[in-house]
Amino acid sequence: MIFIDEAVLHVQGGRGGNGCVAFRREKFVPKGGPAGGDGGQGGSVFLVGNEGLNTLYHLRNRRLYPAERGRHGEGSNKTGRSGEDLEIAVPLGTEVFDRESRELLGEILNHGQRLRVAAGGRGGRGNARFATATRQAPRHAQPGEAGEEKLLELQLKLLADVGVVGLPNAGKSTLISVVSAAKPKIADYPFTTLVPQLGVVARGPESEPFVIADVPGLIAGAAEGAGLGTQFLRHVERCRVLLHLVDLSAGEADAVADLEAVERELASFDRGLLERDRILVGSKLDVVDEQRHAELRAAAERRGLTYHEISSVTGAGIQELIRLLESRVRQGQAA
């Protein structure tokens, strides 16, 4: 999978059609008046939410997106056809900025939501519009107006109910593969996961499914650009619940140091993330180090966080964790 969460687009509304200069030419109307029709409206450019997309990858090879121009007016007071609107599909969670002014133009959060990013130009008026009692044969018409033209910057923030954070090799990808149908790459070296992974967790017909996301790239200094830097940190901003995984197996640092390393990066990026509903989870319970186990449990109590332990290999604690997440997601939706 090639994950693209930023894109630059040059969008251009269609130009309006020109008004027409024409006069009636009928056999029994010797002094036919002006009959030039108006030009058609230029098409507009819209971004449209599509729940079937997870990245901006499909926009990578094209920069200019022009809408159709309006047709020119014609004789016999015929108005030119309006240009077709151009619709560009984007994934849910896309923020749209004017690249020059940095103004936020809007965000796409719902399937089918439409955001107009470049309006089409107005069609020019034909000479029939300029006839007056004192000027009965005007010989001029208006040209069509140019459509809006903008350089856009699109940024995707994944829409997930639960964001899984933790140091590399904390077991995030393995957990995602166990609780959902997602199949992330899993290996025993750092930065196995190079792109966010999304999975849908559905325990059964009686429960409401929710979306869980594995956010990679968190190491000490990530908020300043170390490792994968801030490239994926923004994807946790929309999550209702943060699931913070800490490896319980023996490691070089103590469990609290691992916990604080990720907390510092979250706080450096956005202090509000530490105030988000957060569940602290000890992973790899099947190979637990008792000292790390005690340290992490004590750290959770000091922070007032819900603490849970799991093994994605043996399945211990997994169903209880899913039920806990379902409850927290429902609470977040009701808030």
Total number of residues shown for the chain:
335
Give the chain's radius of gyration (CA, Å).
29
The DSSP 8-state label assigned to residue 246 in this structure reads: E
The H or E element spanning position 178 is: helix 172-179
Q: What's the pLDDT at 55? A: 83
Give percent of the chain with pLDDT exceeding 90. Answer: 50
52 φ, ψ (degrees, to nearest 5): -85, -5
pLDDT digits 0-9 by tens, 1-52: 456 788 999 999 999 999 999 998 877 776 778 999 999 999 999 999 998 8
**284: nearest Cα among 253, 258, 245:** 245
Burial, 121: exposed, middle or buried (Cβ in 10 Å; 0-12, 13-18, 19+)? buried
Q: What's the pLDDT at 222? A: 43
Q: For domain 162-334, give the fold.
A: Rossmann fold (3.40.50)
**Please, what CATH class does the domain formed by 1-156 belong to?**
mainly beta
Bridging pattern class, strands 149-156 and 6-12: antiparallel
- Evaluate if residue 158 carries a pLDDT over 90: no
The boundaries of every CATH 3.40.50.300 domain in the chain are: 162-334
Q: Give 4's contacts (C-beta < 8 A, 6+ positions apart).
A: 55, 56, 57, 59, 60
Of the ranges 119-133, 175-189, 195-209, which one carries the lowest mean pLDDT score? 175-189
Q: How far is CA 19 from the centre of its chain?
A: 40
Q: What's the pLDDT at 60? A: 83
Specify whether the backbone of 27 is left (phi greater than 0), alpha (psi in -120 to 50) or beta: alpha
- Evaluate if residue 202 carries a pLDDT over 60: yes
- Evaluate if residue 206 carries a pLDDT over 80: no
The boundaries of every CATH 2.70.210.12 domain in the chain are: 1-156
pLDDT digits 0-9 by tens, 207-238: 788 888 887 756 555 445 444 545 667 778 88
**pLDDT, mean over the chain:** 86
- 98: which 2 tokens? 């004017």
Place 80 in a pLDDT band, splitting at 50, 70 and 90. very high
CA distance 166 to 273: 14
Q: Identity (one letter) of the amino acid at 131?
A: A
Q: How far is CA 295 from the centre of its chain?
A: 38
Query: Per mean pLDDT, which of 200-214, 221-235, 282-296, 298-312 is the most reliable?
Result: 298-312
Greater model confidence, 98 or 182? 98
Q: Give 293's contacts (C-beta < 8 A, 6+ positions apart).
A: 248, 255, 282, 309
- 281: which 2 tokens? 């989870």
pLDDT digits 0-9 by tens, 43-77: 999 999 998 888 888 898 888 999 999 999 999 99
